[in-house]
Amino acid sequence: MNTASFIARRIAFNRQRSFSRFIIRLAIAATAISVAVMIMTLAFVNGFQEAVSQKIFSFWGHLRVQHYEQYKAAIAEEAPIHKNDTIVSELYKMEGVRQVQSFATKYAILKTPESIEGVLFKGVGKEYDFSSMQQFLTAGRWINFNDSTYSREIVISEYTANQLELKVNDRVLIYFFKGEDQKPRPDKLTIVGLYKTNMEEYDKLYAIGDLTLVQRLNDWGADEIGGYEIFLNDYHSMDKVNNEIFESLPSEWGSKTIRDIYPSIFDWLRLQDVNRDVVLGVMIIIAIINLITCLIIMVLERTRMIGVLKAVGATDWTVQKIFTLQGVIITAAGIFLGLVIGLGVCVIQQKTGFLTFWDENAYYMLVVPVKIIWWEVALVVAGTLLVCILTLLIPSLVSRRIQPAKAVQFR
C-alpha cells in the first residue's frame, strides 16, 4: 500500500511538463466546476422557491378559513361567518400555528378624473400584524384604525398608483358595489402607503383597508367577517395542519391551503425541481466521463511503467491501487476546489446581490435569492466522491490486462 501510495502521489503531483500533468489539471478543473455548479444550482433553486413562496404566504398566510362553498372561485367576495373566539383559541393550540387574523374582501373601483382601476379591497382588523408584509412597503405606512368609525385610509400597489397617477397622501374616489340592482356607493379614502410584491396576482388586484368598512358596506354585524388567514411556523406542514383544522371546523366552514388558491404558481415552482435535477444529472455525467477519460489516458501513457513494475514483481492489485489512489487524489482536489468556488459564489451573492434577474416582473423579484442547505452540500460531496470512486474501477481494471513483455516495448 505504501509503494502504491508513493507512486500515485508522484504521478499526481509531478511538476515536469507532460501531457499527463495537463490531463490531471483538466480533470481536477472539470470536477471542481461540476461540484461548484451543483452546489450553486441547489442554493439558487432553494432560494428562489422559498423567496416566491414566502411572498405568497406573507400576503395571504399559509391557510385560509372561510364559509365553505364548493364551486366558488378562490378569489372572490366571501360569504360572512361569525367570529368564534373558541375556534380561534383551538387554532392557536395546534402545533405550528403562529398567527390567526380576520379579513374580508370586496370588489371596488378606484377613480380619478383621468382614469379608473378595478381592485379587490382587502379589509383587515385592528389585530392584523403587518410585520410579515413590511418587506413590500415601498412608501408611506400601513393604515391606522380608529375606535369611533372605520378608517378612511387605504394602501394600494405601486402598479395601481402609477396607472392612476397617484402618490402617498393623495385622496382617491372609490366605488363599492353592494348588489346587482343597487348603484355603486362612492367614498373618498386617503392613500397612506404603497406596496410592491412584483407578483401580478397581488399588485394588479389588491388594495388594503379597514375591515369595518367592508362590514358596513355589506350590512354585516361587528362580529361577522369574511374569514381567517392563518400563518404557520413552517410552511412545509401546510397540508398536515390543514387536515387537522378542517376536521375541527363547523360543518358550514372550510379551510384551504394557499397552494389550493394559487395552484399555478406552485406548479411553476415545482417545475424548477425538474430544471435542478437535469443540471445535477448533466454535471454528474460530465464528472464521470471526464474522470474515466483522464485515467484511461494516464494508464496508456504509463504503460511502460506498468510493464516495468510487473516485471520486477508488482501484483495486478498493486498496479490497480496506484491508479485508483491517483483518481481519489484528483477527485478530492476537484471536490475541494468546487466547494470553495460554489460556496464562495453563494456567500458573495448573499452579501452583495450582484446577480440579478433581467425581468423583475417575470421572476417576482430583482435579486437572485440564495439558500444554502448544508445537508445538501454534504450530499453533493459524498455523492460525487462515491460516484467517482466507483467510476475509477473502469480505468484501473484496464491496467490489470497489460502484459509486462508487451508493455516494456510499448511506444
User: Residue 247's pLDDT is what?
Assistant: 86
Pick from 116-125, 223-232, 305-314: least confident: 305-314
Calpha distance 26→24 (Å, rounded): 5
> Where residue 182 falls among pLDDT bands split at 50, 70, 90?
low
> How much of the chain exceeds pLDDT 70, in percent?
86
Q: pLDDT at residue 389 above 60? A: yes
> Where residue 73 falls among pLDDT bands split at 50, 70, 90?
low
Q: Measure CA 139 to chain center.
A: 27
**C-alpha distances out from residue 324 to 80, 294, 295, 299, 338, Å:** 72, 12, 9, 11, 21
pLDDT in tens, 97-110: 999 999 999 999 99
Report the chain's mean pLDDT, rounded to a whole number: 85
> Where residue 136 falls among pLDDT bands split at 50, 70, 90?
very high
Are the C-beta atoms of 56 and 261 separated by less than 8 Å? no
Average pLDDT over residues 272-298: 82
Tell me the chain's radius of gyration from C-alpha atoms: 32
Question: Which residue type is seen at 327?
Answer: G
Calpha distance 252→261 (Å, rounded): 19
User: Residue 371's pLDDT is what?
Assistant: 93
Which stretch, 205-209, 290-294, 361-365, has highest mean pLDDT? 205-209
Least Cα distance to 228 among 69, 62, 353 occurs for 62
Calpha distance 79→68 (Å, rounded): 9
User: Residue 319's pLDDT is what?
Assistant: 72
pTM, rounded to two decimals: 0.77
Q: Is 338 helix (H, G, I), strand (E, B) or coil?
A: helix
> Where residue 22 falls among pLDDT bands split at 50, 70, 90?
confident
Average pLDDT over residues 372-377: 94
Q: pLDDT at residue 328 above 60? A: yes
